[in-house]
Structure 1
Amino acid sequence: MGNIHRRQVIRAGLGFLGMASMSRFSLSLAQQDSLRIGVVLSYSGPYARLGQEITRGMELYLDKVGYQAGGRRIQLLKEDEEADPAVAVRKVRKLVEQDRVNLLAGIILSSSAYAVRDYVHERQMPLIIANAAANGITRERRSPYIFRTSISAWQQHYPMGPWVARNVGKKVFLLALDYAFGKEATAAFKEGFQQAGGEVIGELYTPLGTTDYSAIISRIASARPEAVHAVLSGSDAVIFLRQFAQFGLNRTTQLAVSGEVTDENVLEAIGDAALGAKSADHWVYTLNNSTNREFIKAYRQKYNATPNHFAVRGYDAMQFIVDAINAAEGDVDNRRRFLRAFENAKIISPRGFVQMDPETNNATQHVYAREVARVEGILANRQLADLGIVRDPGK
């Protein structure tokens, strides 16, 4: 009986060890089966708020789908771009080589997008750009592994030029940050504006992180334009708008700016001084579609705040990613199938119908003229005009 008892104990022990091994194996398999998305965005510096909002949008959409796609659990691995292209490259390499992510998403700066382009292309690593608008990324430096779900600089700003010439004024002063997006956006606006008979009476570029715009505003005042077209983001936009109002120029000169300048986060910091400012963007707070209403409601419930177009960009980038993973049935290692899913992607977004252009790997979408107004008690952008469906020409 003693021998039998010992054999039973040994068998039970072996069974227990076997179950423990199986449990560890199952856990390991589950961890291995998670789909890892490396997110590179600015979480510090002048664009920290942009990175936060894009992340909020991504996580809001992942909440909607239960952090699942193609039968696999989704895990986000976040790294700080720090508004520095060299840092962006280093963080991308870490995510790919150390963290073994399945794909990449994010990128705030256009210069960062250019900096990481060759690395992700050579590694054949899918990258979904949720913000950076550098034209060349979907033109001469296009890669079959890079898709932009936000917008190109030309696509957003060219159609605004003729609209400003017809509806705001024919004499405009141009101001932009001295980096890739600022220059490309300004060139696109100027192209459309001058074709419509507009005259540029001044043009200035300022460093990222400028803390005093008073000298620039004095030059604008001396030039006496009918309107100012500015391309600024984050803290730069807040400081410029605040000083523009302090100098009283908001009472004599129209603002007809990039959508980033009158982003809802900026309006929160500026207040009524921004009322009446015009802008062009791919999203408007007042867009009357069910997806936008659902997005705004969910955002308010989760974050107790007003959403902005950066949150929409994060939301849509993740929607494109989830839909592509579902179309590939979770097999993201089958590169041809996964990339084809992105090329053929179509989504119903808070900004309306958006589809990927397989010739450029850039989103095709509506662009809207907007105006800052009080909407249901808050400062937000309301729609003035639909400038039509705009496709980046790809050249």
Structure 2
Amino acid sequence: MTGFVSAIGKDLQQGWDLYWKQKGTKIGHFTIDTVLEDDASSADTALTKAARLVKEEKVDVVVGPVLANQALAVGDYLDRQGVANLAQSSADDVTQRKESPLVLRTGAMAGSQTTFPGGKWAYDKGFRTAATLCVDYAFGWESCGGFVSAFTSAGGKVTQQLWYPGDATDLSTYVTQLASQKVDMVFVGTAGGTDSSNFLRSASDFGLLKTPILTNCCTLDQAILQDVGDIALGIRSVSYYAEGATVRRPS
């Protein structure tokens, strides 16, 4: 609810609350009681709050968290405690190499799931060289890894990879480095918080928008689009959803 991905947390809370408002909190013989904790966009805080929910609140299920590094730590803890986890995170290993029968991913996708086809798409469109900028934690590694793996397997070349801390407030240094690269395109994998808006504004200010940009899902989330407005026009994303998007089907 606070920290650099607070916008995502608020979206998740609104969705959760809306469901129970519409459906009622009585499910069979059970009544759903929700206890909200703020993980402050921090893996350490998320683990501490999860322990409090288990030990003090005696919860049956933990919903969340959203950040990949949080989800991996919290999921492992809840598994050892025998508490179910409805994971909102895209961390690959939530349902892959470290899967647990007590952890169910109810979020949209794994971190590299959409960026793999993004890398193949970029090569098929004629891009042959690329530079990348991704957030320096598990989700950024997975987002970047999917793109780079598919792009290079198809025959493309990645000439430079840059990483920034999730709570960075100024991305201009990274953006100017990218703008100086002689590449066909740039791939960017942000966390979907203030880092996304910061990147887009810096890209606009320092001329990076002249270079074709492909992003992961979160760089153009609905909250980000509302924040940056027309700056986002022309940037491509591997995301399949944004609030207010119009889908046109052949008649």
The normalised TM-score by structure 1 is: 0.59
Whether contact under 8 Å (2:179, 2:206) holds in the other structure is no
Whether contact under 8 Å (2:179, 2:208) holds in the other structure is yes
Does 1:127 find its partner at 2:88? no
Match of 1:146 among 82, 103, 120: 103
Match of 1:275 among 208, 222, 233: 233
Distance 2:33 2:218 in 1: 29
Cα deviations across residues 234-263 of structure 1 (Å, max 9, x unaligned)?
Answer: 10010110110112321x211210110011
5+ residue gaps, structure 1: 1-42, 286-306, 308-379, 385-395
Aligned counterparts, 1:296-315, within 5 A: 307=243
Instruction: Report SS of the residue matched to 2:227.
Output: helix
Distance 1:209 1:244 in 2: 18
Aligned counterparts, 1:204-243, within 5 A: 204-232=162-190, 233-243=192-202
Distance 2:241 2:43 in 1: 30
Match of 2:41 among 55, 71, 83: 83
Distance 1:222 1:272 in 2: 24
Aligned counterparts, 1:316-331, within 5 A: none
Distance 1:382 1:229 in 2: 25
Whether contact under 8 Å (1:157, 1:188) holds in the other structure is yes
Instruction: Report SS of the residue matched to 1:79.
Output: coil
Distance 1:235 1:116 in 2: 23
Deviation at 1:118, TM superposition (A): 2.8
Distance 2:126 2:231 in 1: 18
Match of 2:130 among 155, 163, 172: 172
Q: Is 214-223 or 254-263 further displaced after alignment?
A: 214-223
**Identical counterparts, % of pairs:** 28
Whether contact under 8 Å (2:176, 2:208) holds in the other structure is no
Deviation at 1:167, TM superposition (A): 2.7
Instruction: Report SS of the residue matched to 2:31.
Output: strand
Letter of the structure 1 residue corresponding to residue 195 of structure 2? D
Distance 2:167 2:229 in 1: 21
Describe the shift of the 1:168–1:231 C-alpha distance in structure 2 as closer, same or farther (beyond 3 A).
Answer: farther
Does 1:247 find its partner at 2:206? yes
Deviation at 1:209, TM superposition (A): 1.5
Distance 1:264 1:119 in 2: 32
Instruction: Report SS of the residue matched to 1:256.
Output: strand
Whether contact under 8 Å (1:153, 1:185) holds in the other structure is yes
Letter of the structure 2 residue corresponding to residue 136 of structure 1? D
- Calculate the aligned-residue CA RMSD, in Å: 1.9
Describe the shift of the 1:383–1:186 C-alpha distance in structure 2 as closer, same or farther (beyond 3 A).
Answer: farther
Whether contact under 8 Å (1:154, 1:188) holds in the other structure is yes
Instruction: Report SS of the residue matched to 1:271.
Output: helix
Deviation at 1:168, TM superposition (A): 6.4
Larger-gyration structure (1/2): 1
Whether contact under 8 Å (2:64, 2:87) holds in the other structure is yes
Distance 1:228 1:75 in 2: 45
Does 1:137 find its partner at 2:97? no
5+ residue gaps, structure 2: none
Higher relative CO (CA 8 A, sep ≥ 6), structure 1 or 2? Answer: 1
Describe the shift of the 1:191–1:66 C-alpha distance in structure 2 as closer, same or farther (beyond 3 A).
Answer: same
Distance 1:174 1:204 in 2: 6
1:311 matched residue in structure 2: none
Whether contact under 8 Å (2:64, 2:86) holds in the other structure is yes
Letter of the structure 1 residue corresponding to residue 153 of structure 2? Q
Match of 2:141 among 170, 176, 183: 183
Distance 1:164 1:60 in 2: 38
Deviation at 1:55, TM superposition (A): 0.8
Describe the shift of the 1:112–1:222 C-alpha distance in structure 2 as closer, same or farther (beyond 3 A).
Answer: same
Distance 1:382 1:183 in 2: 31
Structure 1 runs (4+) greater than 3 angstroms displaced: 380-384
Letter of the structure 2 residue corresponding to residue 96 of structure 1? V
The normalised TM-score by structure 2 is: 0.92
